[in-house]
Homo-oligomer: A and B are copies of this chain.
Amino acid sequence: MRATGVDKPRAVRASAVRARATRGGATRARAAAQGIEQEVKIDAAPTTLLREGSGEEGDATQMRARFEKMIRAAQNEICDAITALDGKPFHEDAWTRPGGGGGISRVLQDGNVFEKAGVNVSVVYGQMPPEAYRAATGEEGASKEMIPFFAAGISSVMHPHNPMAPTVHFNYRYFETDAPKGSAGAPRAWWFGGGTDLTPSYIFDEDVTHFHQTLKDICDKHDGEFYPKFKQWADDYFMIKHRGERRGVGGVFFDDMNDRSKDELLAFATDMAGGVVPAYVPLVAKHKDDEFTPEQRAWQQMRRGRYVEFNLVYDRGTTFGLKTGGRIESILMSLPRYCEWQYDHAPEAGSREADALDAFKNPRTWCA
């Protein structure tokens, strides 16, 4: 299977769902959002969010279970590090779905250092339209049966109070689709994706370099081509297209990765998730008590408005989640606690705000 081909199901599906939602009223839109069952809140996170028994058969590498174990360990590690910095614990919500799967959201809101920090893990058993599967695989066929898919991932956004301390986002995910009914034995499609990116309001060169260098060192351990390729991909992906500017200074982003063994890709995703704390936490520790002016706070709030524009209009995970009936409060956990819009704002030439905007419009080289 071509790596670029596997991206199509999501693009095709999202646009098909959107077209239906645009033409129809609320009822039709809710009917279209049938890919994921309604979640059921549970009192405490279970040992595993995976289905028991036969649902996991045919997974010779046990990748579903290994990936879930990895993202749950990462969730613990990152929440512990953020709580140590903030002094306030995360609130946890857990849920399951009748047909299997579920999630654990952890949110720290109105903390001492963070306005809003969330770290989610989720496991989803959903349904994909067959034309999406065919577009991905190039297979012929006229089946109208929905194709089951499996997705597991960790995703997180953390917004500190201080305008000198940057926002971070990361997401690592593993995706599988079943073979369509009637073509038993056809190989499953699978891929890994993810990324970690930084959104400062003000640029401190040494901080951005530290962030990128930490990610690059991890990439280089796995493949020397990863960092340059994934840095470029992040610069392309985190683009607020209608403004011609990125939401921040990027980092790494990759998707549709299946050009090497699952073991190798799991090892890479594990190391990348493990890189979040060393890449990010020192930057917040350094700036959490910096002095700032009301004007600097307003600039941060406007940049958070841009973050909202990116997430609601372009972010794949968010737009996919909103259309398919995922747990809304977990999906929109990424939105900032506060933000603002000023009509036609433009930073003064030569200001620090202008420098930041320039970095968002013209991506820079942060490490060699």
Contacts and interface: CB of A to CB of B under 8 A. Distances in A.
Contact of A109 (B109, B337, B343): B343
Interface residues of A, number: 58
A26 B239 contact: yes
Interface in A1-41: 7-8, 10-12, 14-16, 18-19, 21-23, 25-26, 29-30, 33
Contacts of A332: 309, 341
B241 A21 contact: yes
B23 A11 contact: yes
Contacts of A242: 322-323, 325, 328, 331
Interface of A: 7-8, 10-12, 14-16, 18-19, 21-23, 25-26, 29-30, 33, 91, 93, 107, 109, 116, 118, 236-237, 239, 241-244, 301, 305, 308-309, 312-314, 316, 319, 322-323, 325, 328-329, 331-333, 335-344
Given A25-B237, A337-B341, A339-B339, 17 more contacts: A8-B23, A12-B19, A14-B19, A15-B16, A15-B22, A21-B314, A25-B236, A25-B239, A26-B239, A29-B239, A30-B244, A109-B343, A118-B343, A308-B308, A329-B343, A336-B341, A337-B342
16 contacts: A14-B22, A15-B18, A21-B314, A26-B236, A30-B244, A242-B322, A242-B323, A242-B328, A305-B335, A309-B312, A309-B332, A313-B319, A333-B343, A336-B341, A337-B341, A337-B342
